[in-house]
Amino acid sequence: MHSLNFWKITYILLITFFGILLVLQKSVDIYWDQTYHKLSPFHVDNKKFKLIQKNTDYSYEKLEAAKEKIYQWNQIVQNEINQKLFAQKRVRQNNSRDLSSQNQADKKLLKPVEVDAEKKKNNSTQSAVQSTQHQILELAEQIKSAYMNLWQKKQDYFSDKIIIRPDETVFFAGDSLMQGVAPHAMRILHKSYHVNSLDLSKQSTGLSYPKAFDWPAEIETILNNDDSIKVLAVFLGPNDPWNFLIHGNKNYSKFKSKEWEDEYSSRIERILIAAKNHFVKVIWLGVPCMKKRKLDQDMIYLNSIYQSEVEKLNQRYLSTADLFRCENGFSDTILIDEIQNKVRTRDGIHFEANGQKMVADLILQQLIFKG
C-alpha cells in the first residue's frame, strides 16, 4: 500500500495533463481552432502523435464493422416487428390499389405450373417456384414505385414552388439556432401533414471548421443515403466569423479577406450542388440581427454571401431580419397584438420559444403541401 505526498501528486497531475494533450492532438487542435481561432499552443508538428489518434480511428472502424454484424442481426428482429406493425396498413393499401393488370400477370405466370399435373406431385419445387415468382413481382413493384417517386421528385424540383408530400422528408441542418427552431417545425410537419423530418442540427457548428464538423460532407452523405429527402433547410452563421486555416495553407486566412470569402463561398456552393444532384430544394435562412455590434456586422456580411450563392443556384434565401423587426436595431422583445413578446434570449443571439416558433412558421410557409 503506497501513499502519495505533494510532490508525487504534482508529478501525476502534470504528466497526465501534458500526456493527454500530446496523444489527443487532433481533438485539442479542433477545440483550440473553434474557441480561439488560432493554432493550439500545445500543437506538436510530429506525425507520430497524429498517428495515435489516426490509428485509433482505424481500429475504431474495425470495431464499427463488428458492431455492424450485431446491428444486422438486430435489424432482422426489428424488421419483423415493423412488418407486424405495418401489416394492417399494407392490407389497406393493397385494397385501394388497382390490381387488375397485376392479377392478369400473376395468372399468366402461374398458368404453366398449374397446368402441369405431374409437377403438382412435387410440392416443394412448386412452392419454391411460386415464392420466386412472388419475389420477382415484389421487386418489380419496388422498382416501379422508386421510378415513380424519382419522376415525381424531378417534376416537383423543376417547379417554382417547394412542394412536399406525405412520407417525404425535410432535412434540417445548422447550428444551435436551427436546434431550437427545428423541433417546432418537425412537430407540425408530422402532426398535420404526415411529413417526416431529419434534424441533424448541432450546436457550435458552422462552415468555418470542417475538422470539427464538416457540413458539406455530412449533407452529401445524408442525401446519398436517403432518397425521401425533398427539402433541405439550413440555418447557421454565428459560429463562423473567424479566421480559419484552409487546408494546404500554412497561415490562418483572415476573416473577410478574398481567399476567406472564396473558400467559404465554395463550401456553400458544395452544399447547394449536392442538393441539386438529388433534386432537393434548399431553404437557406439568413441570420437575424444580433445584440453585439461586431457580431451583427459580421452576420450581415455572411448573409450577403449566403444570399448571392443561394440565388445563383435558384434556391430560396429567407431573411429573418423583418421577422424580428431588425430595422429598429436589435430588440429582444417585439410587439405582437399589443403584447410585448420576449423572442430573443439574454445572450442576444438565440431565440426564446416564441422566436423559435416564428422562424419555424416562416419555413413552413414556404412549403406547398400536396397529396
> Which spans of this chain sit near another protein (rule: CB under 8 A)?
1-4, 6, 8-17, 19-21, 23-24, 27-28, 30-31, 53, 56, 60, 71, 74, 77-78, 81-82, 85-86, 88-89, 182-183, 186-187, 190-191, 196-197, 199, 203-204, 212-213, 332-333, 339-340, 342, 346, 353
The DSSP code for 81 is H
Taking the least distance from each CB to another protein, the nearer of 189 and 272 is: 189
Taking the least distance from each CB to another protein, the nearer of 1 and 117 is: 1
Instruction: Name, in order, each residue with C-beta under 8 angstroms of 285's C-beta and a sequence gap of 6 or more.
Output: 174, 178, 233, 234, 235, 318, 320, 359, 362, 363
The secondary element (H helix, E strand) that includes residue 162 is: strand 162-164
Taking the least distance from each CB to another protein, the nearer of 44 and 212 is: 212
> Please, are residues 290 and 330 in contact by the beta-carbon 8 Å criterion?
yes
Q: Which of 180, 201, 187, 184 is nearest to 345 (CA)?
A: 180
CB of 204 to another protein, least distance (A): 6
Taking the least distance from each CB to another protein, the nearer of 310 and 326 is: 326
Taking the least distance from each CB to another protein, the nearer of 89 and 108 is: 89
CB of 171 to another protein, least distance (A): 14
Please give the angle made by the CA atoms of 38, 51 and 65, to the nearest 5 degrees: 115
Taking the least distance from each CB to another protein, the nearer of 144 and 190 is: 190
CB of 44 to another protein, least distance (A): 15
CB of 170 to another protein, least distance (A): 12
CB of 93 to another protein, least distance (A): 12
> Please, are residues 164 and 368 in contact by the beta-carbon 8 Å criterion?
yes
Cell 439556432 sits on residue: 177
- DSSP per-residue codes, 209-251: -TTT--HHHHHHHHHHH-TTEEEEEEE--TT--S-BPPTT-SS
Secondary structure of residue 273 in the 3-state scheme: helix
Please give the angle made by the CA atoms of 152, 85 and 129, to the nearest 5 degrees: 75
Taking the least distance from each CB to another protein, the nearer of 3 and 225 is: 3
Q: Which of 134, 121, 113, 222 is nearest to 170 (CA)?
A: 222
CB of 1 to another protein, least distance (A): 5
CB of 220 to another protein, least distance (A): 20
CB of 54 to another protein, least distance (A): 11
Q: Cell triple for residue 149?
A: 417517386
Taking the least distance from each CB to another protein, the nearer of 82 and 266 is: 82
Instruction: Name, in order, each residue with C-beta under 8 angstroms of 262's C-beta and a sequence gap of 6 or more.
Output: none
